[in-house]
């Protein structure tokens, strides 16, 4: 096997090996076809000589640096090791003279080759890595959650000299990313972005757009976590996680998986299980092979394999491997996966200690979301002509209101009162007016003979001038104002759906009796309203 890349739904190591073996069988047939094509074409091979190869110059460099590279290979700390190597490069350049001033690249390659040989020799002979660890030991891990006060969730994950800050932000359905793909449009509710600034490796570079590396690592981390996200029905939020790599010495993509998982839980996202990631390495000399857990940057560069494995306690969710040798056997890959399983379990244990479960409450800064199932025949009433009603509702409550064809309504807003107002409005659409019930309604129109009151969303009734107060009312707007909220009692609903409302029925009369004397039909006795009640025979309902 030379390379693998994929995702899975928490499969065990044996299942993954079986899947790779199945794919490998098909790839062998492709390779055989390529060999036959090459043999048929009979194109001559082209000779290539390394232009920088110079045995005499290499001997001068070796003599000048002495045992500096051996010391560098046995120096655990990265910065100190780099300083020794830089000093050795200065010695080498001085030794080869000014006539070879253009050979700096060659010197660097010779030093890397010697460092690689020494690192591998020590590992095979002494079972000791460049930083002093044995092959299975994982670097020290520290975890801090809720490290930033303003974002909805945050976590700082540090493993050795690799540190990733995960920041989680929650949004509404309107925040989903729309993808215009060849096969059609689709939406993404989960996005993970990985940033790798130059300062994380002690460098200064011009900051441009995301690199191929950032895109690839972010995609790997996103696939690692997407498997354990809650379904939309259980958690109707759009989720974005940004990983800021603050320091890097190997395995920053897997540190991103850990930091992202913790930041999601800190934000209150109910993950099925936390996810951790680990990068495995390999040093292979002949028949001897040593598998390394949690590799350093130098072990990635000077070793033979970079095998990233992410998953939960239940199984693997994503994996990626590239190697620098001709290939590795399935047996060696099986050993690497088993060692990765042990390392992942160790990391998950530390994560679970730092944050045992998702936060029970969302951040105060996170949007509030409620979902309502509306009868499909009421969707038009919610939306209104040309979307007028739903736009007015969104503006009045400062919320976003999204309605699907099946009647699912999602209300999202930062203001709790606004969300509650919008929710009650939608719930009101499903209610039918009940005679004798008291409603709190808004006055929508004032006419000479009374006022129209909206007691349910889109449902108005007439409060006749005689039902406003026990005292005689000369002008309606002397007692109630347009837009004012009043409590009224529903007296009657006629076969056409027209509603008679009374404010007077809820007020004490001069004897202190609430509502006064009622007729057998439930109407408050008062002056006859006759034909002047509704000029032209207009209806109550809009």
* Per-residue pLDDT tens digits for 226-250: 999 999 889 999 999 999 999 999 9
The mean pLDDT value for 174-189 works out to: 92
Q: How far apart are CA 233 and CA 237, in angstroms?
A: 9
- Give the tens place of pLDDT for each residue, 356-404: 999 999 999 999 999 888 888 888 888 888 988 899 889 989 999 989 8
Q: How far apart are CA 345 and CA 311, in angstroms?
A: 9
Percent pLDDT > 90 in the chain is 65
Looking at the predicted structure, is the pLDDT value of residue 83 above 90? yes
Closest CA to 187 of 198, 176, 203: 176
- pLDDT on residue 168: 98
Lowest mean pLDDT among 27-36, 183-192, 323-332, 377-386: 377-386
Q: How far apart are CA 132 and CA 209, in angstroms?
A: 37
Percent pLDDT > 70 in the chain is 94
Looking at the predicted structure, is the pLDDT value of residue 521 above 80? no
Lowest mean pLDDT among 6-15, 46-55, 132-141, 292-301: 46-55
- pLDDT on residue 531: 37
Lowest mean pLDDT among 91-105, 180-194, 300-314: 91-105
- Give the tens place of pLDDT for each residue, 84-131: 999 999 999 998 888 888 888 889 989 999 999 999 999 999 999 999
| 193: three-class secondary structure by DSSP | strand
pLDDT-derived band at 522 (thresholds 50, 70, 90) equals very low
Q: How far apart are CA 499 and CA 461, in angstroms?
A: 5
Instruction: Report whether 166 contacts 154 (CB < 8 A).
Output: yes
Looking at the predicted structure, is the pLDDT value of residue 255 above 70? yes
- pLDDT on residue 382: 87
Lowest mean pLDDT among 54-68, 133-147, 181-195: 54-68
- Give the tens place of pLDDT for each residue, 448-490: 999 999 888 778 899 999 999 988 889 998 899 998 999 999 9
- Give the tens place of pLDDT for each residue, 25-40: 999 999 999 999 999 9
- pLDDT on residue 270: 96
Return the bridge partners of 518, or none.
Answer: 524
Report CA torsion sign: 330, 336, 338, 344.
Answer: negative
The mean pLDDT value for 515-519 works out to: 47
Instruction: Report whether 323 contacts 117 (CB < 8 A).
Output: no
- pLDDT on residue 38: 93
């Amino acid at each position: 096997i030379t390379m693998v890349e994929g995702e899975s739904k928490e499969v065990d190591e044996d299942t993954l090996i079986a899947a790779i073996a199945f794919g490998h069988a098909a790839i062998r047939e492709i390779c055989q076809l390529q060999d036959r094509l090459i043999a048929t074409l009979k194109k001559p091979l082209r000779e290539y000589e390394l232009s920088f190869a110079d045995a005499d110059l290499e001997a001068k460099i070796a003599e000048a640096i002495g045992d500096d590279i051996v010391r560098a290979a046995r120096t655990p700390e990265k910065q100190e090791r780099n300083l020794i190597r830089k000093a050795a490069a200065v010695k080498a350049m001085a030794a080869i003279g000014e006539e070879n001033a253009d050979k700096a690249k060659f010197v660097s390659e010779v030093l890397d080759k010697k460092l690689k040989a020494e690192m591998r020799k020590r590992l095979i002979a002494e079972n000791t890595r460049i930083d002093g660890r044995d092959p299975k030991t994982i670097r020290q891990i520290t975890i801090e959650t809720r490290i930033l006060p303003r974002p909805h969730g945050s976590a700082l994950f540090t493993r050795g000299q690799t540190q990733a800050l995960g920041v989680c932000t929650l949004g509404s359905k309107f925040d989903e990313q729309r993808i215009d793909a060849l096969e059609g449009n689709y939406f993404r509710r989960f996005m993970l972005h990985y940033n790798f600034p130059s300062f994380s490796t002690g460098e200064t570079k011009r900051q441009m757009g995301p690199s191929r590396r950032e895109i690839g690592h972010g995609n790997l981390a996103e696939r690692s976590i997407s498997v354990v996200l809650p379904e939309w029905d259980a958690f109707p939020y759009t989720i974005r996680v940004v990983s800021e790599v603050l320091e890097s010495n190997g395995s920053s993509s897997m540190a991103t998986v850990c930091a992202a998982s913790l930041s999601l839980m800190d934000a209150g996202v109910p993950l099925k299980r936390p996810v951790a990631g680990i990068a495995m390495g390999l040093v292979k000399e002949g028949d001897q092979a040593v598998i390394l857990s949690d590799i350093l940057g130098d072990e990635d560069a000077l070793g033979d394999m970079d095998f990233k494995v992410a998953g939960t306690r239940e199984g693997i969710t994503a994996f990626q491997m590239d190697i620098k040798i001709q290939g590795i056997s399935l047996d060696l890959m099986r050993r690497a996966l088993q060692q990765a399983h042990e390392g992942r379990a160790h990391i998950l244990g530390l994560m679970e200690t730092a944050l045992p479960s998702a936060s029970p409450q969302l951040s105060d800064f996170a949007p509030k979301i409620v979902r309502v199932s509306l009868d499909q025949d009421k969707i038009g009433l919610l939306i209104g002509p040309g979307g007028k009603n739903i736009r007015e509702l969104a503006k009045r409550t400062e919320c976003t209101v999204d309605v699907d064809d099946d009647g699912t309504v999602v209300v999202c807003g930062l203001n709790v009162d606004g969300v509650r107002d919008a929710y009650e409005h939608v719930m009101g659409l499903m209610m039918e007016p009940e005679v004798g019930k008291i409603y709190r309604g808004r006055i929508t129109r004032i006419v000479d003979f009374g006022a129209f009151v909206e007691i349910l969303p889109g449902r108005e009734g007439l409060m006749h001038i005689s039902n406003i107060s026990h005292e005689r009312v000369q002008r309606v707007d002397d007692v109630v104002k347009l837009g004012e909220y009043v409590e009224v009692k529903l007296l009657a609903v006629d076969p056409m759906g027209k509603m008679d409302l009374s404010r007077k029925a809820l007020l004490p009369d001069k004897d202190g009796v609430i509502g006064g004397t009622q007729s057998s039909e439930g109407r408050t006795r008062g002056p006859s309203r006759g034909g002047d009640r509704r000029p032209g025979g207009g209806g109550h309902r809009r």
